[in-house]
């Protein structure tokens, strides 16, 4: 009976942590709209440079570049950002596609082994070409779905030039396999602090790399990506530099403004990507948001375990399955903040939980024991900082 009580206590604690995150996540759209209103009162069109690291992104890049061409300022005029694509030794014609769609291409070649972070090194290549104003870093699989999204990020950076603004795009999954990302995505948002109750500015100790915006002069003054070239999780390392210089890092859910399809090439790519980021990202995040995320995860597993209780007669069916149904409904609400997933993933949440466990265990083994991770054909050695 004691085990049953502890299971119910963990379930209840997890549900409360999830409710707090749901309340905060509901404010993401309000943040985007409020920044849009501020931008409408600012005279002139901001200068924006968009830097895109790309390695074998021929298929993904056109959607991003077309969405950038569609960006408008507060008066509906073309924003016309300077778009820099850093071709990181691609083999699929990424550079050709980028040039055809109007981007300036910087070619970069590096052996597929060795220390440091290839993405951070690629982004550092663009520093001398950033055209003042605001710099926005965007992964090649991102789409700015609202024509005002880039203007809003520029407004945020201009309004608080000492700060870093990053976006976790809405993850649009296709099929059940891609939808296995549901738990890593939700837990990452919770642990970042972006969904902490009362955090109206979405302040965080970390940053999310798919989209980051910053005052260009401030970016250079803190050292830019050259200063974090040896960090595997370069976004969190950049956030650490910003905070050390007196600024704040903000993590905003992408809502209906920015989205991506993160790992479209199957389970192996998805597993490799989360393995690279999960444990190191958790090391960078600290404090109550991490505690809240851990409580939510423990509550989920306690609830899944408790749902098996009626099979052994340890707990009545109503007492076992009611918390599970409530947890699933809460997961539906939380996951709508993070992405759009196949509806099949919700009744199959035990498999999503097993995927999360497998990714977490592999990530811990690679980062703490092997001290190296793999991504896009490269073996990346881990230094002293995440």
pLDDT in tens, 122-158: 899 899 899 889 999 999 999 999 999 999 999 999 9
Question: What is the reported pLDDT for 139?
Answer: 95
Please compute the mean of the pLDDT values over residues 377-385 and round it to a whole number: 62
Alpha carbons 46 and 54: distance in angstroms, whole number: 25
Question: What is the reported pLDDT for 344?
Answer: 95
Region class of 111: left (phi > 0), else alpha (psi between -120 and 50), else beta: beta
Pair of tokens at residue 282: 């958790």
> In whole angstroms, how far apart are CA 20 and each of 26, 185, 292?
10, 17, 9
> In whole angstroms, how far apart are CA 339 and each of 173, 237, 331?
8, 25, 12
Structural domains of the chain sorted by starting position, each given as residue range(s) with its CATH number in brackets: 2-21+287-381 (no CATH), 28-265 (3.90.550.10)
- Edge-to-edge strands, sheet with 142-144: 142-144, 258-260, 170-172, 339-340
Please compute the mean of the pLDDT values over residues 110-130 and round it to a whole number: 78
Please compute the mean of the pLDDT values over residues 105-125 and round it to a whole number: 77
- Does 27 or 64 have the greater pLDDT score? 64
Q: ∠ at Cα 205 (201, 210), nearest 5°?
A: 80
Alpha carbons 223 and 200: distance in angstroms, whole number: 28
- What's the per-residue H, E or C state across the chain? CHHHHHHHHHHHHHHHHHHHHHHHHCCHHHHHHHHHHHHHCCCCCCCEEEEEEECCCCCCHHHHHHHHHCCECCCCCECCCEEEEEEECCCCCHHHHHHHCCCEEEEECCCCCCECCHHHHHHHCCHHHCCCCEEEEECCCEEECCCCHHHHHHHHHHHCCCCEEEEECEEECCHHHHHHHHHHHHHHHHHHCCCCCCCCCCEECCCCCCEEEEEHHHHHHCCHHHHHCCCCCHHHHHHHHHHHCCCCEEEEECCCCEEECCCCCCHHHHHHHHHHHHHHHHHHCCCHHHHHHHHHHHHHHHHHHHCCHHHHCCCCHHHHHHHHHHHHHHHHHHHHHHEECCHHHCCCHHHHHHHHHHHHHHHHHHHHHHCEEEECCEEEECCCCC
Other beta carbons within 10 Å of 113: 11
pLDDT in tens, 206-227: 999 999 999 999 999 999 999 9
Please compute the mean of the pLDDT values over residues 254-279 and round it to a whole number: 85
Alpha carbons 182 and 335: distance in angstroms, whole number: 7
Pair of tokens at residue 331: 């997961």
- Does 301 or 281 have the greater pLDDT score? 301
Please compute the mean of the pLDDT values over residues 260-288 and round it to a whole number: 77
pLDDT in tens, 191-211: 888 888 778 889 998 999 999
Stretch among 140-144, 313-317, 363-367 having the lowest mean pLDDT = 313-317
Percentage, residues of the chain above pLDDT 70: 90
Please compute the mean of the pLDDT values over residues 31-58 and round it to a whole number: 88
Stretch among 102-111, 175-184, 213-222, 309-318 having the lowest mean pLDDT = 309-318
pLDDT tops 80 at residue 115? no
Alpha carbons within 13 angstroms on the beta-carbon side of residue 301 total: 11
Question: What is the reported pLDDT for 78?
Answer: 92
pLDDT in tens, 233-251: 889 999 999 999 999 999 9
Within its chain, how far is the Cα of 159 from the centroid? 23
What is the pLDDT of the chain when averaged over all its residues?
88
pLDDT tops 60 at residue 114? no
Please compute the mean of the pLDDT values over residues 345-363 and round it to a whole number: 93
Alpha carbons 32 and 149: distance in angstroms, whole number: 8
Q: ∠ at Cα 96 (90, 98), nearest 5°?
A: 90
What pLDDT band is residue 365 in, cutting at 50, 70 and 90? confident
What pLDDT band is residue 65 in, cutting at 50, 70 and 90? very high
Please compute the mean of the pLDDT values over residues 57-61 and round it to a whole number: 93
- Radius of gyration for the alpha carbons in the chain, expressed in angstroms and rounded: 21
């Amino acid at each position: 009976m004691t085990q049953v009580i502890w299971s119910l206590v963990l379930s209840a604690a997890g549900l409360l942590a999830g409710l707090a995150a749901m309340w905060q996540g509901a404010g993401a759209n309000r943040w985007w709209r409020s920044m849009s209103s501020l931008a409408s009162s600012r005279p002139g069109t901001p200068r924006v440079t968009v830097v895109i690291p790309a390695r074998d992104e021929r298929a993904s890049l056109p959607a991003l570049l077309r969405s950038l061409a569609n960006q408008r300022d507060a008066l509906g005029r073309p924003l016309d950002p300077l778009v820099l694509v850093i071709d990181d030794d691609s083999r699929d014609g990424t550079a050709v596609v980028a040039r055809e769609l109007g981007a300036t291409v910087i070619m970069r070649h590096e052996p597929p082994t060795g220390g440091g972070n290839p993405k951070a090194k690629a982004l550092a290549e663009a520093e001398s070409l950033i055209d003042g104003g605001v710099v926005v870093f965007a992964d090649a699989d991102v789409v700015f779905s609202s024509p005002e999204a880039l203007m809003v990020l520029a407004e945020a950076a201009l309004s608080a030039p000492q700060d870093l603004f990053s976006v976790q795009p809405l993850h649009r999954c296709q099929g059940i396999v891609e939808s296995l990302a549901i738990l890593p995505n939700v837990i990452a948002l919770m642990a970042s602090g972006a969904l902490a109750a009362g955090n109206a500015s979405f302040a965080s100790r970390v940053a999310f790399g798919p989209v980051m915006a910053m005052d260009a002069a401030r970016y250079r003054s803190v050292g830019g990506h050259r200063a974090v070239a040896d960090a595997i999780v370069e976004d969190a390392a950049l956030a650490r530099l910003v905070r050390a210089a007196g600024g704040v890092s903000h993590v905003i859910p992408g809502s209906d403004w920015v989205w991506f399809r993160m790992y479209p090439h199957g389970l192996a790519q998805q597993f490799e990507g989360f393995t690279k980021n999960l444990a190191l990202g958790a090391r960078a995040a600290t404090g109550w948001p991490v505690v809240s995320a851990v409580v939510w995860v423990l509550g989920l597993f306690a609830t899944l375990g408790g749902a098996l209780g009626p099979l052994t007669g340890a707990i009545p069916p109503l007492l076992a399955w009611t918390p599970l149904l409530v947890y699933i409904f809460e997961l539906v609400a939380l996951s709508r903040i993070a992405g759009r997933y196949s509806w099949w993933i919700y009744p199959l949440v035990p498999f999503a939980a097993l995927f999360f466990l497998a990714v977490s265990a592999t990530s811990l083994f690679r980062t703490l024991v092997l001290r190296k991770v793999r991504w896009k054909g490269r073996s990346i050695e881990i230094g002293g900082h995440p």
